[in-house]
C-alpha cells in the first residue's frame, strides 16, 4: 500500500491539477520531439518532480515509468570512493549529486560524460538523446556547476539536462543563461482544498470543506505536506469532523515551545535550557535555516514595530553566518542570546518610561 | 550504468509497434537538434558581432599568419568563445578541429592533467600547409575557457588556485614554439599578473541593442519565426547585452509558440522575470509600515517561486527611479541590497534575506528623516 502522495500523483501533463496553462506550454515544448535544457524551480511540494516525470512520459511514452535503482561508485582523483544511488529508466537517469557532498564535481564530470558521450545505436526509432535529471542543484558546489556549463553545450546532441532546484539564487548565471527556466509556483490554498477533496473522493472518503481548508492553510501551500497531513488525520479519526485538530509535526510544536521559552524569560539559565532544546532539534535533522525561520516568526509576534525590524536584521545576519560557518549550533545560539539582550533592553526601557 | 546505456535498444525491441506509432510523425523530419546558439555561432571573424576593435586587431594578425597568446575577458554571451573558434576556423580551415585543444571544467583537471595534455598536444609538430596545399600557420591553439579557468582563478580561497596559475605560466612559455594559448574569463582581475602580461588582452563589451536586434531578426527570418516588434525589444531588454541569453530565449519562445507569432505576454512567463505588478505591490506594502503585511507578502512571493536575485535586480531598477526617496534613503537601501546580494550568493536563506531588505526599505520610506 502506497501513500496517497504517490498513489495519486498525476502521470501525464493533461492530468495535472493546477498550472494548466503551463502544462499546455510544456506539451507544446516537447511536441516537436526536442527541447532545450530545463531549469525547473519552485518551493518544495509545488510539484516540480511531478511535472518533470510528466514531461518525460510525454516524450518517451510509458517506458520511463519502469524505474530501477542503481548504486554506482566513483573514484575521486585522491582515490577516495564515493557511492551514489541513481534512479534510471531506459531513457533517463536521475541523480542527486549533492549526496556526494563536496565531491559532487566528480559525479557531474563522470556521470554526464558517460551518459552524454554514448550515442543511441538506433536513432531512427528513438529519440537522439537521453535525459539527465539533476535534483537539488542549488546544493551543488560552485565547482560542480562550472563543470556543468560546457558539458551542457558540448553534448547537446546526445543528452538533455533537466535541473531541479528550490531557488535559482544559488545557481550560477552561466547555467541559468543556458537553460529555459520553468517556474512552478506553489498551489494556492483553494487549489489544495480541491485536490484534497478529489483525493478523498477517490479513496471513497468524505471530507468536509472547512476541514480541507484547515489542512490547506496549515500546510504552508505545500501540497505534499497537505496530503500527508490529510492521510495522518484519517488514521487519527474518521469520519472527519470539522473541529478535528490537524496533526502537526512534533518538531514544530517543540520549536514553538522553545520560542515561547525565549520570550518568557531572558537569563543565562534559560539560554542553557534553550541550547539543549536546539541541540535536540538539530540531532533530529531539522535544517538549521528552518529553525531560524520559525524562531524569527514566533519571536517577532511578541515585539512591536521598531524591534521587529531589528530582530529580522539579526536573524538574517546570523543565518548568513550559519551558512558560511561549520557548526549550526553556534549561530543559532548567538541569535537567541542576541535576541534576549535586545528584548531585555527593550523591556527595561519600557519600564523606565513608566516611572 | 551499463544497463542504462544499452537499455534503450532492448526495450525498444520488445515493443516496436508502439514506439514507431508515436514517433512516425517525427521521423521524416529528423534533423540533428542543434541549439540556435551553436547553429548561429559566427563561422568567421568577420561575422563576430559588435566587437569591432578586437576583430580589427585580430584580422591584422591573421594577415601575418601569426597570433600572440590571447586573453579574452568580458561579460557572458559577448562572443569570446565564438571569436576564438572563428579565428581557428579562419586560420586552419577544415582541419581546425585537430589544431585546437579545448580544456574546460568538464574534463578532469589538476595541474598535472593540464600539463600532460598540453605537453602531448604541443609536442606534435604542426605542418605549415593544409591538406589542400595552401599555407597555414604552423601552430596549435589551446583554449582554456571560463569553466576551465575557474580552477586557475583566485576566488576567495587563494591557495591552490594561484599555484595552478603560476604553474601555467611556465607551461605557456615552454610551449610557445608550437602552441598559442587563448584564455577566456569573465574578470581579468582573477588572473594573476604574470599571466596577463604574457597575453594580448582583449576586452569584450556587452552587445548593444541595435546589433542584438539585427542578429535576432536575421535568425527569425532564417528560422521562419514570427516575432512581434515589442516582444523583440523585450527580449533585448531582458538579455542585457548577452547574445547567448537572447538567442536561447528566442529559441524557447519559438518552440513554445510553434508557428504562431511571439507576443509580449509569453516572455514574462518564460524568462523568469518577476511581473511588474508584483514588484509594485511589494513597494506599496513597504509604504504601509506594517510588519505583518510585509511578512505575508514576502511569504507569498517565496511560495510563488520567484527568484530572490531577480527580485533584487528589479527592485533596484525600480527604486533608482523613485522620486519620493531622498539620496540618503536610497544609499542606505542600496547598500543593504548589496549586502543581501552577497549573502544570497553565499547561500543564505531567501526568506530571511528578503525580510531583512524589506524592513530596511520600509524603515527608510516611513521613518527616515530626509
Residue of A nearest to B254 (CA): A29
Cβ of residue A117 closer than 8 Å to a chain B Cβ: no
Task: Return the DSSP state at A84.
Answer: E
Whether B33 sits inside 8 A of A151 (CB atoms) is no
CA distance A42 to chain B (A): 4
Smallest Cβ–Cβ distance between B33 and the set A34, A91, A153 belongs to A34
Determine, yes or no, domain membership for A245.
Answer: no
Whether A90 sits inside 8 A of B37 (CB atoms) is no
* Distance from C-alpha of A212 to C-alpha of A205, rounded to nearest angstrom: 12
Q: What homologous superfamily is domain B38-203 in, according to CATH?
A: P-loop containing nucleotide triphosphate hydrolases (3.40.50.300)
Dump pLDDT digits (tens) for A242-273. 777 777 778 888 998 999 888 888 888 999 99
CA distance A341 to chain B (A): 19
Determine, yes or no, domain membership for A266.
Answer: yes
Q: How confident is the model at residue B25 (pLDDT cuts 50, 70, 90)?
A: very low
Q: Are residues A75 and A155 in the same domain?
A: yes
Write down the mean pLDDT value for chain B: 76
Domain ranges for chain B, please list them: 38-203, 210-271, 276-366
Residue A10 makes CB contacts below 8 A (sequence gap 6+) with: A16, A17, A50, A54
The least confident of A162-176, A182-196, A337-351, B348-362 is A162-176
pTM reported for the whole predicted model = 0.78
Is A98 or A342 the better-scoring residue by pLDDT? A342
| Long-range contacts formed by B162-168: CB under 8 A, 24+ apart | B162/B192, B163/B111, B164/B111, B164/B114, B165/B191, B165/B192, B165/B195, B166/B192, B166/B194, B167/B111, B167/B115, B168/B111, B168/B114, B168/B195
Determine, yes or no, domain membership for A91.
Answer: yes
Determine, yes or no, domain membership for A280.
Answer: yes
Dump pLDDT digits (tens) for A101-149. 777 878 887 887 788 777 666 655 666 778 889 988 888 888 788 778 7
The least confident of B46-50, B78-82, B366-370 is B366-370
- Determine the structural domain holding residue A55 and report its residue range: 4-183
- The CATH classification number of B276-366 equals 1.20.272.10
Give the pLDDT of residue A336. 93
| Beta-carbon count within 10 A of B162 CB | 14
Smallest Cβ–Cβ distance between B307 and the set A22, A167, A300 belongs to A167
Q: Are residues A321 and A344 in the same domain?
A: yes
Q: CA nearest B46: which of B102, B90, B78, B15?
A: B90
| Beta-carbon count within 10 A of B273 CB | 20
* Distance from C-alpha of A205 to C-alpha of A20, rounded to nearest angstrom: 26
Dump pLDDT digits (tens) for A76-105. 777 888 888 888 888 888 888 877 777 787
Interface test with A, best of B255, B340, B345 (most A CBs within 10 A): B255
Is B149 or B72 the better-scoring residue by pLDDT? B72
Q: Are residues A125 and A29 in the same domain?
A: yes
Residue B222 grid coordinates: 532564417
Integer CA distances (angstroms), A1 to A7, A69, A267, B160, in order: 9, 20, 50, 53
Q: Are residues A256 and A305 in the same domain?
A: yes
Q: CA nearest B250: which of B283, B226, B272?
A: B226
Q: Are residues A271 and A217 in the same domain?
A: no
What counts of helices (H) and strands (E) characterise chain A? 14, 7
Give the pLDDT of residue B238. 83
Give the pLDDT of residue A333. 92
Give the pLDDT of residue A1. 62
ipTM of the predicted structure?
0.85
Give the pLDDT of residue A35. 75
Q: CA nearest A41: which of A148, A135, A152?
A: A135
Q: Are residues A115 and A28 in the same domain?
A: yes
Cβ of residue A72 closer than 8 Å to a chain B Cβ: yes
Dump pLDDT digits (tens) for A206-217. 888 888 888 888
Q: In CATH terms, is domain B210-271 a member of 1.10.8.60? A: yes
Smallest Cβ–Cβ distance between B308 and the set A35, A167, A315 belongs to A167
Interface test with B, best of A26, A39, A87, A167 (most B CBs within 10 A): A167
* Distance from C-alpha of B49 to C-alpha of B280, rounded to nearest angstrom: 36
3-state secondary structure A93-154: EEECHHHHHHHHHHHHHHHHHHHHHCCCCCCCCCCCCEEEEEECHHHCCHHHHHHHHHHHHH
Q: CA nearest B314: which of B363, B360, B270, B268?
A: B268
Q: Are residues A304 and A331 in the same domain?
A: yes
Mean pLDDT of A156-170: 84
The least confident of B109-113, B173-177, B207-211, B361-365 is B109-113
The angle formed by the CA atoms of residues B217, B220 and B223, to the nearest 5 degrees, is: 150
Write down the mean pLDDT value for chain A: 84
Q: Are residues A59 and A195 in the same domain?
A: no
Quick check: B365 and B329 in contact, CB under 8 A? yes
Percent of chain A past pLDDT 90, that is, above it, reads 13
Q: CA nearest B19: which of A122, A55, A69?
A: A122
Dump pLDDT digits (tens) for B170-203. 777 777 777 888 888 887 777 778 888 888 888 8
Cβ of residue A153 closer than 8 Å to a chain B Cβ: yes
Q: Which residues of A touch B309 (CB under 8 A)?
A: 168-169
Q: CA nearest B79: which of B41, B46, B39?
A: B41
Q: How confident is the model at residue B111 (pLDDT cuts 50, 70, 90)?
A: low
Q: Are residues A171 and A205 in the same domain?
A: no
Q: Are residues A296 and A168 in the same domain?
A: no
Determine, yes or no, domain membership for A201.
Answer: yes
pLDDT at B45 over 50: yes
Amino acid at each position: 500500500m502506497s501513500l496517497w502522495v504517490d498513489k495519486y500523483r498525476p502521470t501525464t501533463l493533461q492530468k495535472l491539477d493546477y498550472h494548466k496553462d503551463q502544462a499546455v506550454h510544456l506539451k507544446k515544448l516537447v511536441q516537436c520531439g526536442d527541447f532545450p535544457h530545463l531549469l525547473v524551480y519552485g518551493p518544495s511540494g509545488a510539484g516540480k518532480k511531478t511535472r518533470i516525470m510528466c514531461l518525460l512520459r510525454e516524450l518517451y511514452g510509458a517506458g520511463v515509468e519502469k524505474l530501477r535503482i542503481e548504486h554506482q561508485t566513483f573514484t575521486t582523483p585522491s582515490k577516495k570512493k564515493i557511492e551514489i544511488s541513481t534512479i534510471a529508466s531506459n531513457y533517463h537517469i536521475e541523480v542527486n549529486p549533492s549526496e556526494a557532498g563536496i565531491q559532487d564535481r566528480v559525479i557531474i564530470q563522470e556521470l554526464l560524460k558517460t551518459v552524454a558521450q554514448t550515442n543511441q545505436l538506433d536513432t531512427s526509432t528513438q529519440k537522439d538523446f537521453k535525459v539527465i535529471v539533476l535534483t537539488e542543484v542549488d546544493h551543488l558546489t560552485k565547482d560542480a556547476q562550472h563543470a556543468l556549463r560546457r558539458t551542457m553545450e558540448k553534448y547537446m546532441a546526445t543528452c538533455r539536462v533537466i535541473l531541479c532546484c528550490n531557488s535559482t539564487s544559488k545557481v550560477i548565471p552561466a547555467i541559468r543563461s543556458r537553460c529555459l527556466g520553468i517556474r512552478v509556483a506553489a498551489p494556492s490554498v483553494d487549489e489544495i482544498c480541491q485536490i484534497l477533496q478529489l483525493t478523498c473522493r477517490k479513496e471513497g472518503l468524505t471530507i468536509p470543506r472547512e476541514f480541507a481548508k484547515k489542512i490547506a492553510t496549515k500546510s504552508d501551500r505545500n501540497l505534499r505536506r497537505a496530503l500527508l497531513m490529510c492521510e495522518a488525520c484519517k488514521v487519527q479519526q474518521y469520519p472527519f469532523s470539522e473541529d478535528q485538530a490537524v496533526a502537526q509535526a512534533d518538531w514544530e510544536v517543540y520549536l514553538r515551545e522553545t520560542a515561547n521559552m525565549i520570550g518568557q524569560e531572558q537569563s543565562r539559565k534559560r539560554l542553557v535550557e534553550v541550547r539543549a532544546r536546539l541541540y535536540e532539534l538539530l540531532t533530529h535533522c531539522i535544517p538549521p535555516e528552518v529553525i531560524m525561520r520559525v524562531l524569527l516568526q514566533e519571536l517577532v509576534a511578541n515585539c512591536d514595530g521598531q524591534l521587529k525590524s531589528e530582530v529580522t536584521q539579526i536573524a538574517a545576519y546570523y543565518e548568513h553566518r550559519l551558512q558560511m560557518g561549520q557548526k549550526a549550533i553556534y549561530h543559532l545560539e548567538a541569535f537567541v542570546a542576541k535576541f534576549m539582550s535586545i528584548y531585555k533592553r527593550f523591556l527595561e526601557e519600557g519600564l523606565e518610561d513608566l516611572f | 550504468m551499463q544497463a542504462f546505456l544499452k537499455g534503450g535498444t532492448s526495450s525498444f525491441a520488445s515493443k516496436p509497434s508502439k514506439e514507431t506509432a508515436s514517433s512516425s510523425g517525427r521521423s521524416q523530419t529528423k534533423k540533428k537538434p542543434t541549439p540556435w546558439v551553436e547553429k548561429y555561432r559566427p563561422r568567421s571573424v568577420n561575422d563576430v558581432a559588435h566587437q569591432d576593435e578586437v576583430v580589427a586587431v585580430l584580422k591584422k594578425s591573421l594577415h601575418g599568419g601569426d597570433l600572440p597568446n590571447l586573453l579574452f575577458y568580458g561579460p557572458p554571451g559577448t562572443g569570446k568563445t565564438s571569436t576564438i573558434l572563428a579565428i581557428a576556423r579562419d586560420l586552419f580551415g577544415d582541419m581546425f578541429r585537430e589544431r585546437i585543444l579545448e580544456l574546460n571544467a568538464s574534463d578532469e583537471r589538476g595541474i598535472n592533467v593540464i600539463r600532460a595534455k598540453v605537453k602531448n598536444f604541443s609536442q606534435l609538430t604542426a605542418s605549415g600547409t593544409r591538406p589542400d596545399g595552401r599555407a597555414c600557420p604552423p601552430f596549435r591553439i589551446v583554449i582554456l575557457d571560463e569553466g576551465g579557468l575557474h580552477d586557475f582563478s583566485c576566488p576567495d580561497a587563494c591557495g591552490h588556485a594561484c599555484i595552478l596559475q603560476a604553474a601555467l605560466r611556465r607551461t605557456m612559455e615552454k610551449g610557445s614554439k608550437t602552441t598559442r594559448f587563448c584564455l577566456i574569463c569573465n574578470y581579468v582581475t582573477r588572473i594573476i599578473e604574470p599571466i596577463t602580461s604574457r597575453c594580448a588582452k582583449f576586452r569584450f563589451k556587452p552587445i548593444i541593442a541595435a546589433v542584438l536586434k539585427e542578429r535576432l531578426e536575421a535568425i527569425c527570418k532564417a528560422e521562419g519565426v514570427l516575432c512581434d516588434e515589442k516582444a523583440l525589444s523585450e527580449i533585448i531588454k531582458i538579455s542585457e547585452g548577452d547574445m547567448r541569453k537572447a538567442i536561447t530565449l528566442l529559441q524557447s519562445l519559438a518552440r513554445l509558440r510553434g508557428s504562431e507569432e511571439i507576443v509580449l505576454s509569453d516572455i514574462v512567463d518564460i524568462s523568469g522575470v518577476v511581473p511588474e505588478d508584483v514588484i509594485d505591490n511589494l513597494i506599496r506594502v513597504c509604504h504601509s509600515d506594517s510588519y505583518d503585511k510585509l511578512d505575508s507578502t514576502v511569504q507569498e512571493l517565496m511560495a510563488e517561486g520567484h527568484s530572490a536575485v531577480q527580485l533584487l535586480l528589479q527592485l533596484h531598477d525600480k527604486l533608482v527611479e523613485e522620486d519620493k526617496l531622498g539620496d540618503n534613503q536610497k544609499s542606505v537601501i542600496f547598500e543593504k541590497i548589496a549586502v543581501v546580494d552577497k549573502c544570497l550568493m553565499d547561500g543564505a536563506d531567501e526568506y530571511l534575506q528578503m525580510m531583512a531588505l524589506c524592513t530596511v526599505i520600509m524603515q527608510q520610506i516611513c521613518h527616515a528623516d530626509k
